[in-house]
């Protein structure tokens, strides 16, 4: 039995009928490398053997009596992989857009709370001997680092034959705790809170004062730091519906590194500028390009700085400018790089663990009620825009990987969207390419594939301009 961390629980309680706080991953597999040839049973056999070994896959929620504390994770003694694993076949034309439609539909439905919070879908019918695996997990169970660990559990460095179709013999569920045990653990965690809050208040006040002083000096610099509540309003900064649309694309990692070396910036700077260039083109084509730059909320992993703290989700947030108000691609990248450097300094001042430590003390029932009222009353449309979108960049595996012998040839992460920020772009490198997964609400962004197609063009424009400087 393990209690959820504060951010883990916040993702659960803030979920509404329209704001689904799960994440998805789209894996495209070349089945021609499978030693025994492709069959659904081969993939199912491998998953049956490996999945029960992963805690996030075998655990379900257990709520303390009277909701005295955050919930707990306990082993599900009735775990049935077949309840979570599904199979479907695409009809013609079975192209990327058709696959995106299927993934968008999968992302449009919340996960059931009475079982472990995950699903997997094997999608057949793709061309060139390919199949897709769509993985869907609640954000309370996974973040960037734990997602990488999940991949490490399922993927191999070389093609291997599938294991026999039987559940793992290495796992036995732990005894389920009684209601009295859950109540006792919950009360114990609550009793420790006043002492922690007493320590947090002065430390947080000092950090905020230092950060405000730093922001006060912003006028002395040539590039202002991106700050929340200063973003321009766009069509996707509104109240979302339950529907999701998905698009994906990829670019050459070598091209990104060429720009990085030519201009002396980071890979993350280049990726951010590419997304900014694509959004500039998309919004300009729609006649909706704001005069001010778009601002992205960028999740930052703090696993290495919060080793002593529990929970699965260990992230902080940094705000990044996309310099969409800059027409020249090189100047856009330089503006992004300068702003990112300042944002990193401010993020250090605020403290990597500040958000996580305060999340431990949220009154989650009130927090959840507030999230539902926020959505129902369309509050996101009545105050200044906090940020325009979520932009997450994760370092992925640099080597070839295989699932049940099928080579991984496409990897696209897909994060959640929320009221007021109905666009998520998540980026993940793998081998010699970088995959971009885009999630939005079709009621706000009806042309999501236009945005996806603008990403390779934005990089090509940047490569041409950078090589010429």
The single residue listed with the structure tokens 């992993």 is: 301
pLDDT at 57: 93
- Is the distance from CB of 412 to CB of 437 less than 8 angstroms? yes
Assess whether the previous peptide bond of 118 is cis (omega < 30° from 0).
no
pLDDT at 184: 80
For 137, what's the count of Cα atoms within 13 Å in the CB-facing half-sphere?
24
Contacts of 60 (CB under 8 A, 6+ apart): 73, 74, 75, 76, 114, 115, 116, 117
Task: Please write the tens of the pLDDT for every residue from 154-195.
Answer: 999 999 765 554 555 566 777 888 888 777 877 777 666 665
Distance CA 387, CA 279 (A): 14
Domains in the chain (CATH in brackets) are 2-160+180-187 (3.30.559.10), 196-398+413-467 (3.30.559.30)
Task: Please write the tens of the pLDDT for every residue from 249-308.
Answer: 999 999 999 999 999 999 999 999 999 999 999 999 999 999 999 999 999 887 666 656
What does 283-311 look like in DSSP terms, one character per residue? HHHTT---SSPPEEEEEEE-GGG-TTS-S
What's the rounded mean pLDDT across residues 188-217?
64
- Is the distance from CB of 263 to CB of 334 less than 8 angstroms? yes
SS3 10: helix
- Is the distance from CB of 294 to CB of 324 less than 8 angstroms? yes
Q: Give CA separation, 177 vs 5, 169, 182, in Å.
A: 19, 23, 7
Task: List the single range of 26-30, 203-207, 298-302, 448-452 with lowest mean pLDDT.
Answer: 203-207
What's the rounded mean pLDDT across residues 52-60?
92
SS3 469: coil
pLDDT at 422: 97
Residue 240 has pLDDT above 90, yes or no: yes
Residue 239 has pLDDT above 80, yes or no: yes
pLDDT at 200: 61
Task: Please write the tens of the pLDDT for every residue from 84-106.
Answer: 999 999 998 899 999 999 999 99
Contacts of 116 (CB under 8 A, 6+ apart): 56, 57, 58, 59, 60, 76, 79, 84
71 φ/ψ angles, rounded to the nearest 5 degrees? -65, 175
Residue 404 CB neighbour total at 10 angstroms: 29
- Is the distance from CB of 405 to CB of 162 less than 8 angstroms? yes
Helix (H) or strand (E) holding 341: helix 329-350
Closest to 243 measured CA to CA, from 12, 14, 20: 20
Assigned token pair, 418: 């929320």
What does 209-223 look like in DSSP terms, one character per residue? HHHHHHHHGGGGSSS
CA 238 to chain centre: 20
**Confidence at 363, pLDDT banded by 50, 70, 90:** low
Helix (H) or strand (E) holding 190: helix 179-191
Residue 322 CB neighbour total at 10 angstroms: 28
CA 381 to chain centre: 24
Residue 211 has pLDDT above 80, yes or no: no
Task: Please write the tens of the pLDDT for every residue from 422-466.
Answer: 999 999 999 999 999 999 999 999 999 999 999 999 999 999 998
SS3 132: strand
Distance CA 268, CA 256 (A): 9
Q: Is the dihedral of CA 373, 379, 385, 388 positive or negative?
A: positive
Asked about 361 being catalytic, the answer comes back as no
299 φ/ψ angles, rounded to the nearest 5 degrees? -60, 140
Task: Name the active-site residue from 20, 84, 138, 139.
Answer: 139
What's the rounded mean pLDDT across residues 220-234?
78
Closest to 151 measured CA to CA, from 441, 364, 397, 455: 397
What's the rounded mean pLDDT across residues 337-352?
76
Average pLDDT, the chain: 87
pLDDT at 19: 96
416 φ/ψ angles, rounded to the nearest 5 degrees? -85, 160
pLDDT at 86: 97
Task: Please write the tens of the pLDDT for every residue from 394-428.
Answer: 888 899 999 999 999 999 999 999 999 999 999 99
């Amino acid at each position: 039995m393990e209690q959820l961390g504060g951010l883990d629980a916040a993702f659960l309680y803030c979920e509404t009928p329209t704001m689904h706080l799960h994440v998805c991953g789209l894996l495209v597999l070349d089945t021609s490398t499978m030693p025994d040839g492709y069959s659904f049973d081969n993939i199912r056999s491998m998953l049956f053997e490996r999945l029960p070994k992963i805690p996030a896959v075998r655990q379900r929620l257990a709520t303390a009596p009277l909701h005295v504390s955050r919930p707990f994770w306990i082993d599900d003694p009735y775990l049935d992989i077949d309840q979570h694993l599904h199979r479907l076949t695409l009809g013609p034309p079975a192209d990327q857009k058709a696959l995106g439609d299927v993934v968008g539909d999968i992302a449009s439905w919340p996960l059931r709370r009475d079982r472990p919070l995950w699903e997997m879908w094997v999608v057949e019918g793709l061309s060139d001997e390919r199949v897709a695996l769509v993985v869907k997990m609640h954000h309370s169970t996974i973040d960037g680092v734990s997602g990488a660990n999940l991949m490490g559990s399922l993927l191999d460095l070389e093609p291997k034959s599938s294991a026999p179709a039987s559940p793992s013999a290495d796992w036995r569920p732990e005894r389920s705790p009684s209601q009295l045990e859950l109540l006792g653990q919950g009360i114990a965690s609550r009793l420790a809170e006043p002492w922690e809050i007493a320590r947090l208040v002065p430390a947080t006040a000092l950090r905020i004062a230092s950060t405000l002083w730093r922001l006060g000096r912003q006028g002395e610099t040539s590039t202002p730091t991106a700050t929340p509540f200063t973003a321009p309003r766009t069509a996707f900064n509104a109240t979302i519906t339950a529907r999701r649309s998905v698009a994906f694309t990829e670019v050459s990692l070598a091209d990104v590194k060429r720009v990085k070396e030519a201009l002396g910036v980071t890979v993350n700077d280049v990726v951010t500028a590419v997304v900014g260039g694509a959004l500039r083109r998309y919004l300009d084509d729609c006649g909706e390009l704001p005069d001010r730059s778009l601002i992205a909320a960028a999740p930052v992993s703090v696993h290495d700085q919060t080793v002593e703290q529990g929970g699965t989700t260990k992230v902080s947030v940094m705000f990044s400018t996309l310099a969409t108000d800059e027409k020249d691609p090189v100047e856009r990248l330089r503006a992004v790089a300068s702003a990112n450097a300042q944002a990193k300094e401010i993020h250090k001042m605020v403290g990597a663990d500040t958000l996580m430590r305060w999340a431990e003390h949220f009154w989650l029932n009130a927090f959840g009620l507030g999230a539902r009222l926020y959505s129902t009353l369309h509050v996101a449309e009545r105050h200044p825009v906090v940020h325009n979108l979520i932009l997450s960049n994760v370092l992925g595996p640099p080597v070839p990987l295989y699932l049940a012998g099928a080579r991984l040839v496409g990897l696209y992460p897909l994060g959640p969207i929320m009221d007021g920020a109905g666009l998520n772009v998540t980026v993940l490198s793998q081998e010699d390419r970088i995959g971009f997964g885009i999630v939005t609400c079709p009621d706000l962004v009806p042309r999501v594939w236009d945005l996806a197609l603008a990403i390779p063009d934005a990089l090509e424009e940047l490569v041409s301009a950078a090589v010429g400087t």
